[in-house]
Structure 1
């Protein structure tokens, strides 16, 4: 903590300095309250003497003048009291403003010390260096992950097995359509030439049909529709 802060807040002397503005404001407010009570009292005295003067203005000249004289004395005292009140209020405002400025400065000094402790030996160069290392490690991690994916999936699928499975699916689709319509779909024959000429793994050889049987099947399919 800086010397300035310790000057105000360190030890008993610092606490006394800290409380000094508060005590001064309390004293001023106490005096201000007393003057305000005096102001109210003088106002009542002025009103009372004014009433006496008005009551006797036509019947008792001497009493009316005496009341007016006392009224003027009270008005003079009231002017002095109002001046004192204004001075005290101004002084209170000045002390409060000065105290706020002092507290604000002390808070800013404490914030500066806290920032200094937080940053420590941290510098922009060290931050850049740390970010560069982090970026390098992230890149290395991505490369390792990609390499592991390549190792795991490089030979995972056999193309011949894939082709055989595909042909089995086509043959199943062909058989299903033949059962429903009694005809061989031409698009399936074009996509799977081995169906008509050879054998598919796990299936019996296809039986050739003559033209009359083909026509009969087509007719049956149309009638079924």
Structure 2
């Protein structure tokens, strides 16, 4: 009742049109298949009639040969009409299938366009810019929080440290370490006060005397006569 008052809806029209197109395609394919079978049957019959005509020619019976040829020609005429019908049906089938494909393509484009409209309604340039501004704001806030968490918390650790002063102190420690190593090598030598030089001053302790070379055995031995003479002189003095 309501359909008779308001008419069919757009969806029902589309469904009806789709069913009609589908039925037309099925009918065309079925008719083409039927005509193709008829074509094959006529071709077979025409070939058989021509073979009979040949056999009558071999039997020297031209009248019967002509009759078989006439029948074959009649079948060939029917065959030509069937071939033309098949060609027409195939052309119509191709047209309907192509039109139906175009229709489905248009429907797909229409659905995509509708979806795009819905997306554009839900998302416009102003909303995108507002969203990006919020993202940047949250990122800046997070950066500030991270920086605040990495700062020292009170006490001596939060005092200002001069990097140049640290470098000077490090250099002094290195010089002291070098001096200690030099003192261990040369004893109690005094290292120069010049911080840019690591050469020590002359040592202030006495150097050990150079050991005398051993005298040859022939030089140490004295003449026996001289020894005896000195001994005699010593006795006379007494």
* 1:106 Cα deviation after fit: 1.0
SS of equivalent to 2:158: coil
Residue 39 of structure 2 is matched in structure 1 by: 39
For the aligned residues, what is the CA RMSD?
A: 3.9
Q: Tell me if 1:155 matches 2:158.
A: yes
The counterpart of 1:172, out of the listed 165, 177, 182, is 177
Alignment of 1:51-200 (within 5 A): 51-58=51-58, 59-143=60-144, 145-146=146-147, 149=150, 155=158, 158-159=161-162, 162=166, 166=170, 167-176=172-181, 178-179=183-184, 181-182=185-186, 190-191=195-196
Cα distance in 2 for partners of 1:80, 1:187 equals: 126
* 1:134 Cα deviation after fit: 2.9
2:39/2:83 contact within 8 Å kept: yes
Structure with max Cα Rg: 2
Cα distance in 1 for partners of 2:79, 2:62 equals: 25
* 1:172 Cα deviation after fit: 3.3
Instruction: Identify the structure with bigger relative contact order (alpha carbons < 8 Å, sequence gap 6+).
Output: 1
After TM superposition, the score normalised by the length of structure 1 is 0.67
After TM superposition, the score normalised by the length of structure 2 is 0.64
SS of equivalent to 1:190: coil
* 1:138 Cα deviation after fit: 3.2
Identify unmatched segments of 5+ residues in structure 1: 1-5, 194-207, 217-225
1:43/1:78 contact within 8 Å kept: yes
Cα distance in 2 for partners of 1:76, 1:96 equals: 30
* 1:188 Cα deviation after fit: 10
SS of equivalent to 2:195: helix
Cα gap change, 1:90/1:182 in structure 2, threshold over 3 Å: closer, same or farther?
farther
* 1:61 Cα deviation after fit: 0.9
Cα gap change, 1:155/1:82 in structure 2, threshold over 3 Å: closer, same or farther?
same
